[in-house]
Chain A
Amino acid sequence: MRRNAQALGVLTAILTVLSVATPPAHADIADAWFEFERIYNSDSNLRWRTGDSNGRITTWVEWRSGAGDSTDECDKNYTTDTGGWLPAGWYSIRGHSHEYNGTVIKGRVWELDDKYCYDGSTLRTELFFHTEETRYRSQICDGNAQSDDPYCWDNWWDHESKGCIKLSRPGGDKWYPDTVGEVDWYWHNRNTAISYPMHSAVYVY
């Protein structure tokens, strides 16, 4: 069901401080979703939001995230780490795994459904939330400066992607926040009853 965006938006700022300090008990959650605000490819905002049965926003947590390597949502990806960020609109989460074993994407993922971009012609497919880790959530950092290590979070540029929403995690020799771990925690512990597909679970703008 589509949320009343304007009403929620007005309440958001007021409730943010309260919400982070006192996340709601699981049973109080009537609605939960992610919101992705596209700003820069390697520096955008992912938020977790929940609302109670009265339509009030009760949680608003925000993380740095990224998507794509260009700002044209119609720009299809063909090779590694190129493509526009994912299109605006509502998405369902088709599935979630802690041990995903795709050709390139592995580990913790949330799978989104396909979406036509603004031109109504180009279909963006194979969209995920993910990080850079192995199937079993470890890191392989070989330090080769000539190319990116696909299973090692070792640079803020790792937020760039083929279109998917990318989340950081502790990786190479520098510190990075465990965003994928926190997102996973909220998904499992501050959510309504989970079943897949989760309709309208992500809003991108």
Chain B
Amino acid sequence: MSHGSDTPPVAMVAAATWHKGEGTTVALQHPARSPLTGWSPSVAALEPGGQHLVYATWRELREVDNFESLAAQGVSEGDPLGVPQLQLVQAGESHHERQLVAGAVGPVWRSDGALAYVAGREDEYRAGMPYVGDIHVRPSVDEAPETWTEEPDEYVTIAWAGDSLLAYRRPGHSGELVAFDGPGQLRELPSGELTAVSPDGSHILLSGRNDGRADIRVVSVADGRVVADLEQSDPDAPGALAALSNSGDWVGDSIVAPGRTNASPSVLVVLSFDGSQLTMERKLVVPSEQVPVGFREATFHGNERVVATYAIPPEATKEGYVESPSHRFVSCGLPTEECSWGEPDGEGPLFLIENPGRGS
């Protein structure tokens, strides 16, 4: 894998920079980050039609040494650590930015421009406490939100599948995947990490592990029925798929997702689903010397390329990290399997913006 262009080929945010693709950048007021949800649920999402970008950020209420324990720094259970908030940026020429809502995570757009997110019962996240909130849906960014949950709970909104809003409930515990078909209309889906949503919203690809083996299924959103399983002839072989990550992309009948085999942590997996069968099309294995802990998000870029993000963790000693992490993307040609990586300016994780796998 060679070092190519540092300009992202697809839209993404890196710290406080919005890379719109083709080399155009927009300075954001805050670094994009979502400590409570990581990168799998949407951190930055473009409204269908492209009028607005919504991104998540985090107002730190106290600075902490990440390597030292919180308690040793005087942070007790229940002390406020930060406020997650959503910022709204006009995507036209002005790029005017304002705070949309404080105390919220997981912005996901519906195809008609409705915006869903989790609104915390209180704005602050408190150390050692679950972040409990309600799911709010705004018909448009300028309209008042409607509450879709009957009572607050730990939720993470992740995607729209057609008109059904998908969310994890109690992700730190049992981690159920649930669908809301409207206010108060909650139903459970089979458990698993949501890897991708079909373009028409009718199916989702779920991944998990069962006794050390990959458990990958296509599920019907309407009734939760398992439609197809990924069959592997020898699931214990070194090259067998061990797991998929939860930030893939589904275009047509093709799905790309970060994954890992029994022998390698860093694999880009291309699957196909024809309506009844789920088939492995390609496993693009990248040496772990170059991508040591796996890919984070993956998306198709045109018909013949995939783009994925990853990080290179810093070396740690007992005194702390000896360097900063690197945050990179990789672009790979599917026919050639030739990949090149780039590292945009700015210190902070990369988050893909336009990811149809999230149902936007």
* Nearest chain A residue, comparing its CB with the CB of B156: A78
Contact flag A70-B243 (CB < 8 Å), given A78-B168, A80-B191, A103-B173: yes
Contact flag A119-B325 (CB < 8 Å), given A78-B193, A114-B128, A125-B172: yes
- Among B39, B72, B81, B294, the residue within 8 A (CB) of A92 is B72
A79 touches B211 (CB 8 A): no
Contact flag A79-B69 (CB < 8 Å), given A118-B313, A123-B36, A125-B128: no
Q: Does B327 contact A (CB under 8 A)?
A: yes
In the bound complex, residues from chain A placing their C-beta under 8 Å from that of B66 are 87, 89, 115-118, 120
* Nearest chain A residue, comparing its CB with the CB of B37: A76
Chain B: interface size category:
35 or more
The number of residue pairs between A and B whose CB atoms lie closer than 8 Å in the complex comes to 187
Chain B residues numbered 16-58 whose CB sits less than 8 Å from any CB in chain A: 31, 33-40, 58
Q: Does A42 contact B (CB under 8 A)?
A: yes
Q: Does A200 contact B (CB under 8 A)?
A: yes
* Nearest chain B residue, comparing its CB with the CB of A5: B318
Chain B residues numbered 293-333 whose CB sits less than 8 Å from any CB in chain A: 293-294, 296, 311, 313-314, 316-321, 325, 327
Q: Does A113 contact B (CB under 8 A)?
A: yes
In the bound complex, residues from chain A placing their C-beta under 8 Å from that of B313 are 72-74, 118
Q: Does B132 contact A (CB under 8 A)?
A: no
In the bound complex, residues from chain B placing their C-beta under 8 Å from that of A69 are 209, 243
B173 touches A119 (CB 8 A): no
* Alpha-carbon distance A103/B209, docked complex (angstroms): 20
* Alpha-carbon distance A116/B68, docked complex (angstroms): 10
- Count of A interface residues, CB-CB < 8 Å: 58
Q: What is the CB-to-nearest-CB distance from B238 to chain A, in angstroms, rounded to a whole number?
A: 14
- Among B37, B69, B246, B294, the residue within 8 A (CB) of A91 is B69
A72-90 vs B, CB cutoff 8 Å, 1 = contact: the mask equals 1111111111101001111
Q: Does B150 contact A (CB under 8 A)?
A: no
* Alpha-carbon distance A21/B122, docked complex (angstroms): 53
* Nearest chain A residue, comparing its CB with the CB of B206: A79
B170 touches A113 (CB 8 A): no
Q: Does B212 contact A (CB under 8 A)?
A: yes
In the bound complex, residues from chain A placing their C-beta under 8 Å from that of B344 are none
* Segment at the B interface, from A10-18, A155-163, A167-175: A155-163
B258-274 vs A, CB cutoff 8 Å, 1 = contact: the mask equals 00100001000000000
Q: What is the CB-to-nearest-CB distance from A13 to chain B, in angstroms, rounded to a whole number?
A: 16
B58-77 vs A, CB cutoff 8 Å, 1 = contact: the mask equals 10000010111111100111
B67 touches A77 (CB 8 A): no
A70 touches B175 (CB 8 A): no
A108-128 vs B, CB cutoff 8 Å, 1 = contact: the mask equals 000101111111111101100
Q: What is the CB-to-nearest-CB distance from A102 to chain B, in angstroms, rounded to a whole number?
A: 6
Supply 10 A–B pairs (Cβ within 8 Å), ascending by A.
A71-B265, A74-B38, A77-B175, A78-B171, A79-B177, A80-B191, A88-B316, A122-B35, A122-B39, A162-B175
The residues of A with any CB-CB pair to B shorter than 8 Å are 2-3, 5, 42, 69-82, 84, 87-92, 94, 102-105, 111, 113-123, 125-126, 145-148, 155, 157, 160, 162, 197, 199-201, 203, 205
The 4 closest A-B pairs by CB, nearest first: A76-B38, A92-B71, A5-B318, A79-B175
